Structure 1
Amino acid sequence: MANLKKFREMTAEYSSVADFILIYISEAHPTDGWAIEGNVFQVANHKNMEEREAAARQMLEMEPQDCPVFLDKLDNEANKKFAALPERLYIILSGTVIYKGGQGPFSYSLEEVEDWLKTHQETTQ
């Protein structure tokens, strides 16, 4: 996620309103694929779950998170189901998707999610 710091701040502020998770999916810009020159996150395509876990740990070393982090399976089931690559934000309420953000990093909005959380926080108080 392009802005893990802001996401962490949001999860801390709204932890009483919602549960948050991250799902680490396939790498968007692997060094042996569609690499971006100068990318600080240098990770090759994952060949096994150990490599995916190592990449997720590397991400968390760069920007720790206070919410659970799950790993998508190597068949990328979650990524495919939620059209998540390279990143996407969802709000799920009682098992139903009520918000599907735009494809990241350019078309997703942490602000839209935060607005929903603020509104939901006000209605539950």
Structure 2
Amino acid sequence: MFKLDQFKQLVEDFRDVADFLVIYITEAHSSDGWAFNNNYDISQHRSLEERLSAARILLQNDPLCPVVVDEMSNAAAIQYGSHPERLYVLQAGRVVYKGGMGPWGYRPQEVRSFLEKLQ
């Protein structure tokens, strides 16, 4: 959520170049785990229903693209090494950009630079 505005700006600026998708994975900063004081009150998901409920909070902030939810086995998070967050660009089913792991490696500006080259 910290850089959601930057992500939304990417979606707005590059929607004619790319399709965007958010995969909501396990909660990195759950209120019953390693939480920030200013974070949303989201407990670690113990069921798919809880994960779906947490994803609805993201949807309320209008990410401007579809949001899907990872399985409770965390298959997508494991496959993409995305915990706590990571940005990817895929083209024709292949990864053409792999960002660093968040929070410090989560750099929407790098994705912006990459997508500008595709325009």
Fold equivalence (TM over 0.5) = yes
Q: State how 1:39-78 maps to structure 2 within 5 Å.
A: 39-61=38-60, 63-78=61-76
Aligned to 1:30: 30
Q: How does the TM-score come out when normalised to structure 2? A: 0.94
Q: In the alignment, residue 46 of structure 1 is paired with which amino acid?
A: H
* Structure 2 alignment gaps of length 5 or more: none
Where relative contact order (Cα < 8 A, 6+ residues apart) is larger, the structure is: 1
* Structure 1 alignment gaps of length 5 or more: none
How many Å separate the matches in 2 of 1:76 and 1:19? 23
How many Å separate the matches in 2 of 1:29 and 1:66? 23
- Give SS of 1:60's match: helix
1:86 pairs, out of 77, 84, 92, with 84
How many Å separate the matches in 2 of 1:81 and 1:119? 27
> CA RMSD for the aligned pairs?
1.1
Q: CA deviation at 1:108?
A: 2.1
Aligned to 2:99: 101
- Give SS of 1:54's match: helix
How many Å separate the matches in 1 of 2:45 and 2:93? 30
Aligned to 2:116: 118
- Verify: 1:21 aligned to 2:18, yes or no: no
Q: Percent identity?
A: 42
Residue correspondences, number = 119
Q: In the alignment, residue 40 of structure 1 is paired with which amino acid?
A: N
Greater Cα offset, 111-120 or 1-10 = 1-10
